[in-house]
A and B are shown apart, each in its own frame.
Chain A
Amino acid sequence: MTMKRLINLKRAEARKIYLTYAVVIVAYVVCQIMSSTKFFSSSMRGMLVPICAYMVMAVSLNLVVGILGELSLGHAGFMSVGAFAGVTSAILMQGVITNAPVRLALAMIIAAVFAAVAGFLIGIPVLRLKGDYLAIVTLAFGEIIKSILNNFYLGVDSQGLHFSMLSDTTRLLKGGRLIIRGPMGISGIQKISTFPAGFILLMIALMIVFNLVNSRSGRAFMAIRDDRIAAESIGLDITKYKMMAFVMSAAIAGAAGALFAMNYSTVVANKFDFNTSILILVFVVLGGQGNMLGSIIAAAVLTILPEKLREFSEYRMLLYAIVLIVMMLATNNAEIRSFLASLNPFRRKEEA
């Protein structure tokens, strides 16, 4: 299926897709070798999993922003739904499934399902809007998700699951465990996220997005992005296609959230606030809207950069902002862009 579809693609597009896969795989292999030979610092090793999670987030948001052409400012909300659903399910499965990778995979699937449901529910009112209105409403929903999780209590005991809102009234039996503790989030998470798991998730996310984009539905997404009225006039169901992209994107973000959360021993809803949503949007804008490889690279660079700037201590975030501005200007400069394009071996062949 995949192969057939790719053969039918324009050569340039197919090359771009293969190039993306190739870069990701090579980068993974290089990082794996480097971290096993102790050549990597602890600092780099510690960032591998979060970088993977942010890359997946960038791919997920690029589907909505780059392909569908709608601005979502609440994407961290889906990440947090995934994080909480994933971690909770992993904790509940702790006694049943002892194999950590299997538990992680199941937790990510559950996280994706929960985030997809959240995406669907939010999509119903949101996707009837367009442009700035849609952006602002997604922002609001991101904050609503954060608020709900900050006031949500979930515990488990021999009687089963108990939950309450606002304050902890779960009244767990002896031996029970309060898993989600409102503003305190979840503590004592077993760190089962691994770099290979992050890599696999990124590859799956890329495959889903590339296949979706190059399918009939994907063509519809781009038609809607390029000219909504024309798309409507030929009978495309705008809301249906938008919903499809939105739910898919939310599901991928949910899995990324689970990966991210299970890399730390604790998670709080406040982590997934407006700033995180904007950070992910910056990955997408800097990497290029619709350009998956670009946004993946941007996610890696912008996650590593603040750490590499540590030696500048107090001026760190100031420098980070300046570097960000320079990068934005540079990637938008026509001359630099054509220079970068000339470095691309595939592109050059085509032009020649």
Chain B
Amino acid sequence: MKKILTCAVLILAMSASAFGAAFKLGGTAPLTGGAAIYGMSARNGAQIAVDEINAMGGDIQFELRYEDDTHDAEKAVNAYNALKDWGMQISLSSVTSKPAEATAAENFSDRIFALTPSASSAAVTEGKDNVFQMCFVDPNQGTASAQYIASKGLAKKVAVIWKNDDVYSKGVRDTFVEKAPEVGLEIVSETTFADGNDTDFSVQLTEAKEKGAELVFLPMYYQPASLILAQAQAMGYAPKWFGIDGMDGILTMEGFDKSLAEGVMLLTPFNADAKDEKTAKFVAEYQKRHGEVPNQFAADGYDCVYAFCQALTLAKATPDMDAETLCAKMVEQFTTMTFNGVTGENVKWSANGEVSKDPKGMVIQNGAYVGLD
């Protein structure tokens, strides 16, 4: 009898540790298709953080699951629902903006707390008390870029090439153009491209060159940017280049001649060359696992998980709490706590979910990102 009892207790104890012991983290990301590089990076970064935290063996243990959303709002909602069926307690939202906008609405109505690593559109957090961002919102990137260029005296005459069917590109361009005159920058040329005509940039580059732009601002992802750099070199045009976080990843792009990106500046919250212990440890682990330097998306994913860990510890949350209880606790913590991560020190969140941290200027030198300051 005693034996049976012991067995029963043991089995109970084991099942308790197997079932309710870990917080279930879920996120959707483009793991296939054109934006897959961002989704994979964010997932890899988050996975490293989860493994590190679990290995420390503290009270907070995580179980992470990512579902593919192919950078599409409809698929993202499907992926989100699949995660809900799995038992997701806390959400990593989506990696890209439009899918995140769609899943954020679900997060809000289901009362599941969400912190997106990299969905930067302002509409993601707008009007939702339980959706937070780890990255800057697009409008802030434009403003910060203009201020940075002006305060460092990089140029006076600026050309902007942007993608007019892309949320991200447009968001940054709008605030950049608005801020530029205020800080004394003159926008001499502004040209656009779109899906389908994103392979030939000779018209845009010629105009920038003729108008005498000293610096070309490229608010876009790195694929078109890589072509712009190549074509500018072919036509002998060598202005300063300035990009935003979407440019991150250009060095790891297959078949890209790294010498083309020499001297390109970009504003991103993460600098893989930073000497602090946290960054060095993360970069080393990422390189060991995936054989490449982590980009900003990976760092954002990594920081998200650590931010959850900190908030859960502060709130004394346990994994047997349901999503709604956790949501209330998380909202309380995220609006009051200060977080130190690899994408910034003294990171704070406002009640509307936007993050405040300092962007870091980076320049590409000898095929690697180097901090500007």
Contact = CB atoms under 8 A, between A and B. Distances in A.
A76 to B, nearest CB: 13
Q: State the main secondary structure of chain A at its contact with B.
A: helix
A43 B123 contact: no
Interface string B12-54: 0000000000000000000110000000000000000000000
A232 interface: no
Contacts of A45: 81
A268 B98 contact: yes
B121 A184 contact: yes
A313 B29 CA distance: 12
Q: Is the interface of B mostly helix, strand, loop or mixed?
A: helix
Contact of B74 (A43, A271, A313): A271
Interface stretch (A94-102, A259-267, A337-345): A259-267
A235 interface: no
A160 interface: no
A217 to B, nearest CB: 35
Interface in A296-346: 306-307, 310, 313-314, 316-317
Contacts of B123: 184, 187-188, 266
B105 A191 contact: yes
Contacts, number: 93
A158 interface: no
Nearest to B196: A143
A317 B36 CA distance: 14
Interface residues on B, range: 35 or more
Interface in B94-129: 98, 101-102, 104-105, 121, 123, 126-127
Contacts of B195: 270
Interface in A139-178: 143, 147, 150-151, 166, 168
B166 interface: yes
Contacts of B126: 187-188
Contacts of A168: 174
Interface string B210-254: 000000000000000000000000000000000000000000000
A314 B32 contact: yes
Given A188-B127, A267-B73, A42 B165 contact: no
A191 B164 CA distance: 27
A183 interface: yes
B60 interface: no
Contacts of B127: 188
B155 interface: no
Interface of B: 31-32, 67-68, 72-75, 77-82, 84-85, 98, 101-102, 104-105, 121, 123, 126-127, 163-167, 169-171, 174, 194-196
3 closest A-B pairs by beta carbon, nearest first, are A265-B105, A46-B81, A187-B123
